Amino acid sequence: MQDHYTFAQPGIQRLVFKLKELVRRIDEPVSRHMEEQGLEFLQFAFRWFNCLLIREIPFHLVTRLWDTYLAEGDALPDFLIYIFASFLLTWSEKLQKLDFQEMVMFIQHLPTNNWTHLELEMVLSRAYMWHSMFNNSPSHLVG
């Protein structure tokens, strides 16, 4: 993760591209809608990768999230893609109904204030499922 915090942050930029491709493979309708509206993944996912979602979830859930991060060890950067895809796609139906401005505002203020461990566990469970399905098949990220 060292190249996440160097000049131009190439590590984060690579992961944002992989996130965009993964979301396109998992949920093509929401991916297409975001593209049609002109929303670039870099506009919101850069902060997610830079802050590791800490700003997006309630503080009482941070230890559970970090438990997952630490358990992944050196594989964490690749696993983050799956966590963030799962996190974003929690609101797939809602996002498909929003225009560009509404999407930007929604993603900047995601409704996670009342989240419990249950919602976070659902995000992490989907991430593990997708990781086990796709990670050993890297061609799923090839356009």
Which pTM was predicted? 0.90
Full set of structural domains in the chain with CATH: 22-135 (1.10.472.80)
Residues 64-91 pLDDT 10s: 999 999 999 988 988 999 999 999 999 9
Regions of the chain short of the pLDDT cut 70: 1-10, 138-143
CA 61 – CA 93 distance, rounded (Å)? 24
> Is there a contact between 88 and 123 (Cβ–Cβ < 8 Å)?
no
Instruction: Say what the pLDDT of residue 136 is.
Output: 76
Instruction: Say what the pLDDT of residue 135 is.
Output: 81
Instruction: Say what the pLDDT of residue 142 is.
Output: 56
CA 86 – CA 49 distance, rounded (Å)? 14
Instruction: Say what the pLDDT of residue 13 is.
Output: 85
Instruction: Say what the pLDDT of residue 52 is.
Output: 92
Nearest CA among 15, 141, 128 for reference residue 72: 128
